[in-house]
Amino acid sequence: MVEDVERVEGGRLGEFDLIARYFAPLATEAAALGLRDDAAVLRPPEGQEIVLSCDTIVEGVHFLKDDPPGSIGHKALAVNLSDLAAKGARPYVYLLALSLPAGTAATWLEAFASGLGELQKLSGIGLVGGDTTATPGPLSVTVTALGLVPQGHAVLRLGAKQGDRLYVSGAIGDAYLGLRVLKHPALGRFWGFSDDDTAFVVDRYRRPKPRNDLALLVRNFAQAAIDVSDGLMGDIEKLARVSHGGALIEASRVPFSPAAQKALEREPALLEALVTAGDDYEIVAAVPEASARYFEAEALGKKLSVTMIGRVDGSSGEARLLGPDGNTVKLDAKGFSHF
Amino acid sequence: MVEDVERVEGGRLGEFDLIARYFAPLATEAAALGLRDDAAVLRPPEGQEIVLSCDTIVEGVHFLKDDPPGSIGHKALAVNLSDLAAKGARPYVYLLALSLPAGTAATWLEAFASGLGELQKLSGIGLVGGDTTATPGPLSVTVTALGLVPQGHAVLRLGAKQGDRLYVSGAIGDAYLGLRVLKHPALGRFWGFSDDDTAFVVDRYRRPKPRNDLALLVRNFAQAAIDVSDGLMGDIEKLARVSHGGALIEASRVPFSPAAQKALEREPALLEALVTAGDDYEIVAAVPEASARYFEAEALGKKLSVTMIGRVDGSSGEARLLGPDGNTVKLDAKGFSHF
């Protein structure tokens, strides 16, 4: 029995209706002009700078065709919120550019908008505009997010100093494991995963939690920061290189979830993949030794997980990983590259 | 003989190199942080509002696979600059999200960046950030453009009043003719086009000229405005509807280029397509009767072409086209819709 699903094609659901039905409810800011204009008009609060982030996610590249549409809406916004958090900025407004294949079901759009709306509400950001277009290719979503930060207080990649402690939020590598078990379910059994472990790592892949709660601490304590989207070691290397430093990371200090620990125990060689695969959307912050204990105390007070994993060290422009035996772990590639 | 073209694949040209080589030279604003960060940091001038526009162009939908890459770079920015002009805003900064199929040649990217750079220079806008990603689908470009307008002076779609004159910049329908002759070269001969006529209409399709020179006049004289991207009649209807009015347009007043006039003479039935097909990137402005002659005088003084084509009339929420015989021309569809 084929359901009579309303589809985005043949004029059955026009762009105007589509926007009015699914996206206008997300346009809670006055600047959005109710999404009935081609543009948004914004009056940023005085004394604030605007931080701009823009990331695209493409079906088959950044998410899977069968991922729940709500998680795709979530992810499109989350990857941008993560960039704002790394700059120490608070979420302000965003624009959504959606490229839809013909035949996208209205139910798909409804769930997509709902996932987007949930994260929007949680993070306090508002939709102010965008574009909806047809594509003969895969579904693709580009979000441009604007954040606010008091003038002169944005945290950049550049600025880490010799000896700074390097902290990472949350845990590393779960999204990689989630993607692997989605593609090869047997791996979960091999790694000794319970159903909860599997659900946990899949959720970490599909619905990364941007660390916006950490933004204020990053702003107050970090000299430099970056979000981990392309792999822990590769992103740390970007921060080190642009700061004219190097980095030394101790594998034994890298925080792993209980699920990742199970997998590592069964397959120790996974270590390299976990610290280079990306999609973590955690924050790495370079904090000077002198303020480290205040940073840790405030994070603890706010129940935010941060772990010291190494230091800015030398000027090699490289990030090195020290194994439990004290030797450098050879990494084939330090991060994900599209090209 | 196959040229040994450098391609975006297999790590031969990484994202970092690609950005450094082709796009960092376009990042002339300090806010761009040399494109070596995930985000840009902007300090908007005091007393200004920010106008935001975001448009995607997709290969096979908004441009043709064989269009010169420079014109694709031009178009991606132009369609957004056009939105800023319609709001009366001056170009400020933009972000570029590029989805590239594997195998995109380095020469393609070089020409793309060059076309983008030329229009950027002409319009005074600066690249501050963005994203580059691989896609299994068609090449696609999303630009988010920010413009500046003195507080409270942005011109919206909403705001046209009964009796306002409706002006349009430039000429209408050339881009449609350009697309048609690109697809069916024989049509040029049928319409009696010279080589220059053909080159002219093709250029209008590939390299629309955003009317940013008109922004100040729009801001000073228009109560409402819109850029014509989806078809003259459809876009006027959007303006009329959101302003709670109707619109009456006289076909005999609509400005056509000499090439379009030739085509119309040969094929009068083309009229409907020319006023509904879109891709014109001209500006429609609603100007009150009392200030119309000042608007016209200033446009004349600045050598900007504006033509009165009708009025805001009634409250039907519809845009009607009066033919040369005084009867309403029946239009099957008033504008282009993707869905």
Chain A contact for B99 (CB, 8 A cutoff):
yes
Distance separating alpha carbons of residues B290 and B250, to the nearest angstrom: 21
The per-residue pLDDT for A13 is 57
Under an 8 A CB cutoff, do B54 and A138 touch? Answer: no
A37 CB neighbours in chain B (<8 A) are 156-158, 242
Q: Do A339 and B13 touch (CB under 8 A)?
A: yes
**Helix, strand or coil, per DSSP, at residue B59:** strand
- Is the CB of residue A244 less than 8 Å away from at least one CB of chain B? no
Q: What percentage of chain A reaches a pLDDT higher than 70?
A: 94
The answer to whether residue A77 neighbours chain B at the CB level (below 8 Å) is no
Among chain A residues, the shortest Cα distance to B37 is held by A157
Does A38 sit within 8 Å of B157, measured CB to CB?
yes
Q: How confident is the model at residue A28 (pLDDT cuts 50, 70, 90)?
A: confident
Cβ distance A137 to B135 less than 8 Å, yes or no, reads yes
Q: Residue A35 — very low, low, confident or very high, per pLDDT cuts 50/70/90?
A: confident
- pLDDT for the residue numbered A18: 80
Q: What pLDDT does B29 receive?
A: 79
What one-letter code names the amino acid at B123? S
Q: Which of B8, B62, B89 sits opposite A339 (nearest CB)?
A: B8
With b meaning 16 or more CB within 10 Å and e meaning fewer, what string describes A48-69?
A: bbbbbbbbbbbbebbbbeebbb
- Give the integer Cα–Cα distance in Å for A248 and A327: 11
C-alpha gyration radius of chain A: 21
- d(CA B144, CA A197) in angstroms, rounded, equals 39
What pTM did the predictor assign?
0.93
The span from the CA of B330 to the CA of B312, in Å, is 19
Contact list in A for residue B95 (CB cut-off 8 A) is 52, 54, 144
Q: Does B24 touch chain A (CB under 8 A)?
A: no
Compute the distance between CA of residue A206 and CA of residue A64 in angstroms, rounded to an integer: 9
Measure the CA–CA gap between B199 and A333, rounded to whole angstroms.
49
Interchain CB contact of A56 with B (< 8 Å): yes
Task: Please tell me which of the candidates B52, B89, B242 has its beta carbon nearest to residue A128.
Answer: B52
* Sign of the dihedral defined by the CA atoms of residues B87, B92, B97, B100, in that order: positive
Q: Which chain B residue shows the shortest CA-CA distance from A40?
A: B52
Show residues of chain A in contact with B133, CB under 8 Å.
56, 58, 61-62, 338
- Per-residue pLDDT band at A12 (split at 50, 70, 90): very low
Q: From B339, which residue of chain A is nearest by alpha-carbon distance?
A: A9
CA atoms lying within 13 Å on the CB side of residue B8: 28
Contacts of B136 in chain A (CB under 8 A): 58, 60-61, 137-138
User: What pLDDT score was predicted for residue B39?
Assistant: 86
Q: Decide if A52 and B42 are in contact by the 8 Å CB cutoff.
A: yes
Chain A 306-335, CB below 8 Å of chain B: which residues?
A: none
Among the partner-chain residues A46, A55, A156, the one whose CB lies closest to the CB of B131 is A55
**What pLDDT is attached to residue A15?**
72
Please report the residues numbered 104 through 133 in chain A whose beta carbons come closer than 8 angstroms to any beta carbon of chain B: 128-133
Nearest CB to A144 within list B58, B138, B144? B144
Is A22's pLDDT higher than 50? yes
A166 compared with A9, residue with greater pLDDT: A166
Please name the residue ranges forming H helices in A87-153.
106-123
Q: For residues B244 and B309, what is the distance between their CA atoms, to the nearest angstrom?
A: 19
Report residues of chain B scoring pLDDT below 50: 1-5, 9-12
State pLDDT tens for residues A62-89. 999 999 999 999 999 999 999 999 999 9
Q: Is the pLDDT of residue A310 over 60?
A: yes
Q: What is the dihedral of CA B115, B117, B118, B121, to 10 degrees?
A: 160
Asked if B48 and B150 count as a contact pair (C-beta separation under 8 A), the reply is: yes
Question: Residue B79 has what pLDDT?
Answer: 97
Is the pLDDT at A6 greater than 60? The verdict is: no
Average pLDDT over all residues of chain A: 92
Could you tell me the maximum CA-CA distance found in chain A, to the nearest angstrom?
A: 67
CATH of domain A165-329: 3.90.650.10
How high is the ipTM of this complex? 0.92
Instruction: Give contacts of A129 with chain B, Cβ < 8 Å.
Output: 52-54
Q: Which CATH superfamily is domain B15-150 in?
A: PurM-like, N-terminal domain (3.30.1330.10)
Interface check B52 vs A, CB under 8 A: yes
**φ, ψ for residue A337, nearest 5 deg:** -130, 135
Residues in CB range of A146: below 8 A, 6 or more apart? A42, A50, A51, A52, A92, A93, A94
Q: Which residue has the tokens 């459809």?
A: B234
The answer to whether B18 touches A339, Cβ cutoff 8 Å, is: yes
CB contact under 8 A, A158 and B39: no
* pLDDT classification of A337: cutoffs 50, 70, 90: low
Count Cβ atoms within 10 A of the Cβ of residue A47 and give its class: 0-12 exposed, 13-18 middle, 19 or more buried.
exposed
**B149 chain-A contacts, CB cut-off 8 A:** 41
pLDDT at B338: 56
Q: How many CB pairs under 8 A join A and B?
A: 221
Average pLDDT rounded to a whole number, residues A256-283: 96
Q: How confident is the model at residue A339 (pLDDT cuts 50, 70, 90)?
A: low
Cβ B58–A87 below 8 Å, yes or no? no
How far apart (Å, rounded) are the C-alpha atoms in residues A29 and A20? Answer: 15
Residues of B in contact with A284 (CB under 8 A): none
Asked if residue A148 has pLDDT above 80, the reply is yes
CATH no., domain B165-322? 3.90.650.10
Contact list in B for residue A51 (CB cut-off 8 A) is 39-42
Buried b (16+ CB within 10 A) or exposed e, B111-143: bbbbbbbebbeebebbbbbbbbbbbebbbbbbb
pLDDT band with cut points at 50, 70 and 90 for residue A1: very low
Angstrom distance (rounded) from CA A91 to CA A43: 15
Mean per-residue pLDDT for A93-108? 94
Q: B291 vs chain A: nearest CA distance in angstroms?
A: 24
CA distance B190 to A73: 49
Residue-level pLDDT at B137: 94
A56's torsion region: left (phi>0), alpha (psi -120 to 50) or beta?
Answer: beta
Structural domain boundaries in chain A: 15-150, 165-329
Q: How many other β-carbons are positioned within 10 Å of the β-carbon of residue A265?
A: 11
